[in-house]
Amino acid sequence: MLGNAFLQKACSRTLWIIDEIRIIVKTSIPTEVFMLSQEEFKPRRLVSVREAAALLGLSGKTLYNRINEGILPLFKLSRSVRISVADLERYVERCRVQKCAQ
């Protein structure tokens, strides 16, 4: 039972430390920092370049060309590259042709 008492004391100490950190963070950071808009908290749906190319019906090489030209932004997460679905939708809208040539 000595182990249980030790674990209870360690857990109690950990919870106390977490509460202290919360108090320090709340008092040291201006409240404006916590007042972010819902748009900033909106989760982003990110896809790989391969998935994005499949969604657009393009080859991966063509998509990388658009990225290198600065037409399509991307996110670098560690060693992986991701593209926002919202950015893909904006790209498609920019490619829309209003009137067909005859």
Residue 101 lies in a domain: no
pLDDT, one tens digit per residue, over 67-99 is 999 999 988 888 888 998 889 999 988 888 777
pLDDT, one tens digit per residue, over 19-46 is 666 666 555 555 555 555 555 555 668 8
Report whether 43 contacts 11 (CB < 8 A). Answer: no
What is the domain range of residue 51? 43-94
pTM of the model: 0.53
Separation between Cα atoms, residue 53 and residue 63, nearest integer Å: 6
Nearest to 66 by CA among 46, 88, 44, 45: 88
Residue holding tokens 């950071």? 29
Per the structure, the count of domains in the chain is 2
47 and 85 part of one domain: yes
84 and 55 part of one domain: yes
31 and 51 part of one domain: no
